[in-house]
Chains A and B, each alone.
Chain A
Amino acid sequence: MERNQMRRQLALMRQSFFDQGFLDEQFIQLEELQDDANPNFVEEVVTLYYRDSSRLILNIDQALERNPLDFNKLDNYMHQFKGSSTSIGAKKVKAECTQFREYCKAGNSEGCMRTFQQLKKEYAILKRKLEAYFQQARQAGPLETACRSRN
């Protein structure tokens, strides 16, 4: 496929992430931190996010199997999850984290479990989208972008 066409498709893909509410402006902040010194910053941070979060998800899954639930522990796990999700701009995931925490505070086990299933879904969807995006970006090749000037 012709390069320019690839890049157009990529730009559309990217825009759809924002339009459909998967990502928010925090993701743009990450993009703006990418430059010659850090040419793969966004992909690196996102990769780090998925690596870190997979561990958290495992911990939360295990914690949700306990009876009764340790809401304090769950809250702490969710705290870290929300922190990193917020930081990469994962809008839908972040919303589920907030919802989860509300159920924690209310001591609502069923709510927690339901929300966590939803959270994992959103998380997986975003992961697939971003993986596809970065893969296509690599195929499209680097653009001669106007790098932000540094003083």
Chain B
Amino acid sequence: MGAEVDHVSLMGMSGGSAEGNDRSEGQRFSCKNKLTALVVDNGAVCRAIQTALLRSYGVETEAVETGEAAVQLIASGATFNLIIIEMLLPVLNGPETARQIRAMGAQSKILGISAFFDERHQQEFLAAGADRFIEKPLSPEIVIPIIWELDN
């Protein structure tokens, strides 16, 4: 391991047993085209991490705290290739947010996300127009194929 070590931890040691060989060539995967994403999560930690993760792949990412804010953003004309929506949002929940976004004609890829995988929640989200439902955390394994697909 020299200066070209693929992924480097905080203190310069190769990170444990991380799976996902997206960085095996020594470079971080990055999208070719301009892609945009919106993160909708009432938790600041999740918002921060999901945003940073998407941005690290070259995706221009915004984050909002509520379903209402997301709907308003899209109603004002903003478009996103990818929208990630937390299930248990207060007031307008995840599926309802997805429903309203779809009702406005948005063609974005919509990912429902939640701390716990729940079949009921998955059904709600898919019925509302989401493309997929996943359990947190939003990992490179999940996100890279999606970005790649949107990019090509």
Contact = CB atoms under 8 A, between A and B. Distances in A.
Given A11-B13, A80-B88, A82-B115, A148 B49 contact: no
A28 B15 contact: yes
Contacts of B3: 146
Interface of A: 7, 10-11, 14-15, 18, 25-26, 28-34, 38, 41-42, 44-45, 48-49, 52, 76, 79-84, 86-88, 97-98, 101, 137, 140, 143-151
**A interface, over-half SS:** helix
Interface string B45-85: 11011101100101000000000000000000000000000
Given A33-B52, A33-B56, A79-B115, A7 B11 contact: yes
A147 B18 contact: no
B45 A148 contact: no
B17 interface: yes
Interface string B1-28: 0011111111111011111000100111
B86 interface: yes
A18 B16 contact: yes
Contacts of A97: 115
A94 to B, nearest CB: 9
**B interface, over-half SS:** loop
A21 B45 CA distance: 21
B146 interface: no
B122 interface: no
Given A7-B12, A97-B115, A143-B11, 15 more contacts: A14-B10, A29-B53, A42-B10, A45-B48, A49-B45, A52-B45, A79-B88, A79-B114, A81-B115, A82-B115, A82-B116, A83-B115, A88-B45, A101-B116, A145-B8
